[in-house]
């Protein structure tokens, strides 16, 4: 790759944050809502067994052992409070925001469109544009209408047409305000968590083979949706939000090196090869790395997030360099962040990432944006509400928003990087 002489973030770099509908909107009704109601008690009962080794167990145990933690419920009521949240995005000097459309609101019953919900997302998206915030729309972020899930969701190839029809409907409405469209958020994570690990609905135990079917159908869904979107407007920049990790050998043994390469291939390339020709940019979600000894992952665990994930934020550099070298598409970091309730690590984490991204840019990577996960504290799927990923703290009782010190700092950094650039 060609080295650039003056290392700076590009002029129109997108600085922002991400959320997803079910995690922040409140009062959604989809396959997750149903599953939460059925599983909240069991998750609360299992919490001690599953989470007791976390360093912060004492602090989180009351919440983690309560069934209420496992239901998204009102979440952050972002559906009604989005104007306040957009103002926070502005205060933080951000110029981009990634969010998802809740399909179950738009099409609550098969073929029955909810005009009010569509109007909501239209106004919402237009408002972002008017505020000078680039809207980055995600069409699927792990939640499905109950009727679609009942038909077998992405397990069935014949169901893909429903997703494409919904995508066409909503994008016809939002079209003029949008440039960047994420069709699917982390399809491989969805398939594995829902069909292999059984942490997420439908959690069909004994049907692990379905994971491959779901992965292939999601690849088809992306390709068909991308074709439809490009026919609608050639200028759309279409991508998925791909979950990457960095795999590296912990020693020089042949087995460690080969295993790390195979794991990296399975993580990134197995799925990306199926869809990359139908992407204009590549969205990358990055949370952690994996150090490989032999054929096992054994991480240094020097710094951990509140959910026990090994933190190596500077490795974002290697993920970006590898994906760019391989696929030659402009990249956007569509998510990266950490659960950090006392905000003691977020500033360090972002600093490491800024350095890593800067180095990747210096190496010639065409990186176009960084969207932190998350703007707000939110409902963290099977963990529930106790993990705090937000740049902005949310008091779930009063819905009061308070930007964390790291957010205020990050907002200043964004401003200074822009000034340095002009």
Q: Which residues bind to ligand BGC, rule: CB under 6 A?
A: 20, 23, 185-186, 189, 243, 285, 335, 373, 380
104's CB contacts (< 8 A; 6+ apart) are 28, 29, 30, 143, 144, 145, 146
> What's the min distance (Å) between Cβ of 165 and ligand BGC?
24
Pick between residue 127 and residue 303 the one whose CB is nearest to ligand BGC.
Answer: 303
> What's the min distance (Å) between Cβ of 186 and ligand BGC?
5
> What's the min distance (Å) between Cβ of 23 and ligand BGC?
6
> What's the min distance (Å) between Cβ of 191 and ligand BGC?
13
> What's the min distance (Å) between Cβ of 322 and ligand BGC?
19
Q: Taking Cα atoms as reference points, which of 391, 394, 389, 386 lies closest to residue 404?
A: 391
Pick between residue 186 and residue 310 the one whose CB is nearest to ligand BGC.
Answer: 186
> What's the min distance (Å) between Cβ of 158 and ligand BGC?
27
Cis peptide bond upstream of 374, omega within 30: yes
> What's the min distance (Å) between Cβ of 373 and ligand BGC?
6
Pick between residue 118 and residue 191 the one whose CB is nearest to ligand BGC.
Answer: 191
Q: Taking Cα atoms as reference points, which of 174, 76, 171 lies closest to residue 120?
A: 174
């109950």: which residue's tokens? Answer: 146
Residues composing the chain: 422
> What's the min distance (Å) between Cβ of 339 and ligand BGC?
7
Instruction: Please tell me the distance from the alpha carbon of residue 281 to that of residue 365, in angstroms, as a whole number.
Output: 12
230's CB contacts (< 8 A; 6+ apart) are 236, 238
Pick between residue 173 and residue 186 the one whose CB is nearest to ligand BGC.
Answer: 186
Phi, psi of 176 (to 5 degrees): -60, -20
Burial label for 41, CB within 10 Å (0-12, 13-18, 19+), is: exposed
Instruction: Please tell me the distance from the alpha carbon of residue 39 to that of residue 199, in angstroms, as a whole number.
Output: 10
Q: Taking Cα atoms as reference points, which of 353, 369, 206 lies closest to residue 282?
A: 369
Burial label for 130, CB within 10 Å (0-12, 13-18, 19+), is: exposed
Rg over CA atoms, the chain: 20
Pick between residue 25 and residue 380 the one whose CB is nearest to ligand BGC.
Answer: 380
- Measured in whole angstroms, the distance separating CA 272 from the mean position of its chain's CA atoms is 16
Pick between residue 20 and residue 125 the one whose CB is nearest to ligand BGC.
Answer: 20
Pick between residue 361 and residue 382 the one whose CB is nearest to ligand BGC.
Answer: 382
Pick between residue 189 and residue 408 the one whose CB is nearest to ligand BGC.
Answer: 189
Pick between residue 20 and residue 217 the one whose CB is nearest to ligand BGC.
Answer: 20
Pick between residue 229 and residue 375 the one whose CB is nearest to ligand BGC.
Answer: 375
33's CB contacts (< 8 A; 6+ apart) are 22, 71, 72
> What's the min distance (Å) between Cβ of 335 and ligand BGC?
6
> What's the min distance (Å) between Cβ of 20 and ligand BGC?
5
Pick between residue 331 and residue 361 the one whose CB is nearest to ligand BGC.
Answer: 331
> What's the min distance (Å) between Cβ of 417 and ligand BGC?
25
């Amino acid at each position: 790759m060609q080295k650039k002489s003056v290392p700076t973030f590009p002029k129109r770099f997108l600085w922002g944050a991400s959320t997803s509908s079910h995690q922040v909107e409140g009062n959604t009704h989809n396959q997750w809502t149903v599953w939460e109601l059925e599983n909240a008690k069991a998750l609360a009962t299992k919490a001690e067994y599953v989470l007791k080794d976390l360093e912060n167990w004492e602090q989180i145990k009351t919440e983690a052992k309560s069934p209420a933690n496992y239901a998204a419920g009102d979440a952050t009521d972002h559906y009604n409070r989005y104007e306040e949240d957009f103002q926070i995005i502005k205060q933080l000097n951000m110029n981009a925001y990634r969010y998802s459309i809740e399909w179950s609101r738009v099409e609550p019953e098969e073929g029955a469109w909810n005009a009010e919900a569509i109007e909501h997302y239209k106004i919402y998206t237009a408002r972002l544009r008017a505020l000078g915030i680039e809207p980055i729309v995600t069409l699927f972020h792990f939640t499905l209408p109950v009727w679609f899930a009942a038909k077998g969701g992405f397990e069935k190839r014949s169901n893909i047409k429903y997703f494409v029809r919904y995508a066409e409907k909503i994008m016809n409405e939002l079209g003029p305000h949008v440039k960047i469209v994420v069709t699917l958020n982390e399809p491989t994570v969805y398939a594995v968590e829902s069909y292999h690990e059984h942490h997420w609905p439908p959690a069909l135990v004994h049907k692990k083979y379905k994971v491959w079917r779901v992965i292939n159908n999601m690849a088809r869904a992306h390709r068909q949706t991308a074709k439809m979107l490009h026919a609608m407007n050639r200028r759309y920049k279409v991508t998925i939000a791909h979950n990457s990790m960095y795999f590296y050998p912990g020693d020089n043994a042949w087995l460690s090196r080969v295993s790390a390469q195979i794991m990296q291939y399975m993580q990134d390339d197995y799925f990306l090869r199926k869809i990359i020709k139908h992407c204009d940019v590549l969205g990358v979600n990055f949370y952690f790395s994996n150090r490989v000894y032999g054929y096992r992952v054994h991480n240094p665990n020097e710094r951990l997030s509140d959910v026990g994930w090994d933190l190596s934020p500077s490795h974002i550099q290697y993920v970006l360099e590898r994906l760019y070298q391989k696929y030659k598409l402009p990249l956007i970091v569509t998510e990266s962040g950490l659960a950090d309730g006392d905000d003691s690590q977020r500033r360090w984490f972002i600093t490491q990432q800024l350095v890593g991204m800067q180095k990747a840019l210096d190496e010639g990577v065409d990186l176009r944006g960084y969207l932190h996960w998350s703007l707000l504290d939110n409902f963290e799927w099977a963990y529930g509400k106790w993990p705090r990923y937000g740049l902005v703290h949310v008091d779930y009782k009063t819905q009061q928003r308070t930007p964390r010190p790291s957010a205020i700092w990050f907002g200043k950094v964004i401003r200074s990087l822009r000034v340095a650039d002009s």
